Amino acid sequence: MTAKSMTAIVWRQAPRAATFALMAALVAACGGQTDEERGRDILEKMQKSLVDVEAIAIDQKADPAVVSEMQRNLTTINEYQGEINGKLDSVTVNAIQAFQRTAGLKDDGIITDATRQKLAAAAAQPKG
């Protein structure tokens, strides 16, 4: 229901004092902002609420030996073309996420036991 239709209903059904109070509340709720300003505020709030999944994945505490194992296995299945160096960087995280998507796992880039096991099984498959 729009503010205009609410005002019309109240105007017909309530005493004028209540109507003015309602209109004052509606104006206060809008904050005197234009549609563009409200849109910018909403967009800013949405952007602040977004989670940076890649940053979380990069910040995970992963043993370099495990990361190297993941990089080797991802290379075997042609999902990773970077250097096998045991460093968890954005290229490695993106490759992990891509594998997780194809394997039906949550694609968050987090190295879980399930991801490691499915990746090892996929890398062990004979090429044919």
Q: How far apart are the first and last CA of the chain?
A: 61
Pairs from 96-105 (Cβ < 8 Å, separation ≥ 24): 96/57, 96/70, 97/53, 97/54, 97/57, 99/74
Question: What pLDDT sits at residue 10?
Answer: 47
Determine contact, residues 96/57, Cβ cutoff 8 Å: yes
pLDDT of residue 54: 84
Q: Supply angle C-alpha 118, 125, 127, rounded to 5.
A: 140
pLDDT of residue 126: 83
pTM here is 0.62
Which architecture does CATH list for 53-124? Orthogonal Bundle (1.10)
**Tokens standing for 118?**
């499915």
Q: What is the pLDDT of residues 82-99, one digit of tens each?
A: 999 999 999 999 999 999
Q: What is the pLDDT of residue 25?
A: 63
pLDDT, tens digit, 9 for 90 and up, residues 24-36 = 666 666 667 788 8
Domain boundaries, the chain: 3-49, 53-124
pLDDT lower than 70: segments of the chain? 1-31, 128
The whole-number pLDDT of residue 35 equals: 85
